[in-house]
Structure 1
């Protein structure tokens, strides 16, 4: 393996591991308050310093680390497709199998464990992204900008929650209040039944839910496409040589992303609920901020010396799927009634401390695991299914024997 490729693989693994830290902190709000309760702090008595810290998390963390995962999903998709092409295997066929299993794992995750699953959306989006396999970097950029522009246009329109019936509707608030009791004290069977059978929207918003399910993969596609483009143009092939490139983009994207997200979060709290563009923080601000975080993290690989924690981030990243699902197991056990029952009781700050403690354990345990095993259990299953090989490796294409005509030409 050449040095540039080694550094690129290390950087991508490290970035994937780093993103899981922010994903866990953001998900801790859902573990503790529910998918719909995290936006209803008044129903859980969140106030004062805890409310201010929640605002900070929604500006700096929530919605800004999951896009990094999406970006790396697109990046890895291109690298896998290129590897399969070199072996004269069919990239789209292998990728489709991978996305199908990802979709299946996500549905099982959401049905039997936790409502905040994102693997289902990733699997759905993967099939959409098959349209862009083999496309030129310029094409990928144009589509990413086009889709992000559409999202930005949606965010520019002033949105009155009372008109949508979401979040602030009486039906949804009753659902959240009910979830507080069920998740906090219920058995596993009761919680699973509530999660899968009780409607959080009400009949009047059923069409909105259908719309969201159908179009969500398209709306989050820009980060996948930008990741695919980064793989095509070699954005991370030479971190040291591209130090200035990463520094400038980190500064610009982080500043713009924080401003958009802060505006969307703080303006309504200061009496500006009807101002235009409040949705920009949700529709494009998180993605822009995530790009800033990506380039800022790349700067850690631009120096001569490696930070001592980088190998740990890389180990977490190599086990990203396993670590992500383990976060769900641990988080639900801590907060749900069949575990320690801390649902809605720990507080935002304490919940964040718990999240950091869980991630610290993964930083410590992941390298130890990789000393004995080459890959994680979920990663191994994905590889076996993708390649239809128990070794978890792409099959070598069997070369056909030359025809008599070809042998005569050689002789």
Structure 2
């Protein structure tokens, strides 16, 4: 039981830390919009902000969302094992869970913010059902294959991009005005109806069709890690974590830096994909190593509390930041700079760490997590109805 609590604390701690990375990356979207964050020159940034932007792009933006994806895949296997121990048909529970995420993501992206990941996670979940019963070697091979394909598809010059550059810049300039001073209705209409790229319906459909190729590898690696029991006994796996961090961090940094510095080269997209994946693994292993050394420290418990409330905290980040930056709130969209945004993200996360720790000392589950459990388990208590044997070959609900 002690080892199980330690395992859960380490995984929840990693999830909690990844929320800081996600907030730092998303702060660019909150401040400049999902399309404007890559057109920073239109906001006339200072030299300090250009440097802060480069550091965020290299070390944060592409590497923390993959960690969250990894943990999602890892959690699926743990949930499957728990349901099977109770004699329950895990697939129907998964389907209900994925539908909840898609619904929450749809509402989140439609009514609050364009940077949602929940809908994508729910949709990719149905694809992952193909792999939850596969052997760990099979899952690993498919993860590597899809990673190689996504790296290959990322090869190409920015000049080859299919969208209209002038149309995109006009969209970003309009976004500055609408998001910075518009009403809630105006911002919602712009987010849901304005077309930033000028692509045809077929081109948009093609982008959606190819999306799983780019996002699926880290989900599959998470499934593999759960099957390979990477976090089953953190104390004994500490050398594995240390060696993994050493092997992944340096080449990850080199590739991510090269992809950013030489971003006009055809190979930069491939370097980004591989570098971000290696950085994600490097961060994962480094955090696992640190937390396995300090498994019972008060700081780990605080980060673990953030991880246990991951959906609630993720959605609260949206509410807080859109209120700060959008016109119906403080209207600071595009005004405070990248460095100030980083400091603001750290401050918001610090409040979430303290608030999550306070909350988890009084309650067992976050409000959004409670709704997810109620929906998934079709139970007001949020707990699945366990099956127990009452006779030979007969089971009933406990």
* TM range, smaller chain: over 0.9
1:390 matches 2:390: no
1:28 is matched with 27
Q: 2:181 aligns with which of 185, 189, 201?
A: 185
Instruction: Check conservation: 2:147, 2:213, Cα contact below 8 A.
Output: no
How far is 1:152 from its partner? 1.7
CA distance in 1: counterparts of 2:224 and 2:50, whole angstroms? 39
CA distance in 2: counterparts of 1:216 and 1:267, whole angstroms? 24
1:282 is matched with 272
Matches within 5 A, 1:22-171: 22-155=21-154, 157-159=155-157, 161-166=158-163, 169-171=165-167
Q: 1:198 aligns with which of 188, 194, 197?
A: 194
Runs (4+) of structure 1 moved beyond 6 Å?
A: none
Q: 1:240 aligns with which of 221, 228, 235?
A: 235
Q: 1:321 aligns with which of 283, 290, 311?
A: 311
How far is 1:65 from its partner? 0.5
Task: State which structure, 1 or 2, has the greater radius of gyration over its C-alpha atoms.
Answer: 1
CA distance in 1: counterparts of 2:21 and 2:173, whole angstroms? 27
Q: 1:227 aligns with which of 210, 222, 229?
A: 222
Instruction: Check conservation: 2:294, 2:300, Cα contact below 8 A.
Output: no
1:216 is matched with 211
Change (3 A) 1:402 1:227: closer
1:10 matches 2:6: no
Q: 1:338 aligns with which of 321, 328, 341?
A: 328
1:407 is matched with none
Q: Deviations over 1:135-162 (max 9, x none)?
A: 111111011011011112123x232x33
Unaligned runs of 5+ in 2: none
Number of positions where the alignment pairs a residue of Structure 1 with one of Structure 2: 394
Change (3 A) 1:73 1:304: closer
CA distance in 2: counterparts of 1:191 and 1:315, whole angstroms? 33
TM-score scaled to structure 1, two decimals? 0.92
TM-score scaled to structure 2, two decimals? 0.95
Unaligned runs of 5+ in 1: 405-411
Instruction: Check conservation: 2:15, 2:307, Cα contact below 8 A.
Output: yes
Instruction: Check conservation: 2:149, 2:213, Cα contact below 8 A.
Output: no
CA distance in 2: counterparts of 1:403 and 1:211, whole angstroms? 49
Instruction: Check conservation: 2:6, 2:295, Cα contact below 8 A.
Output: no
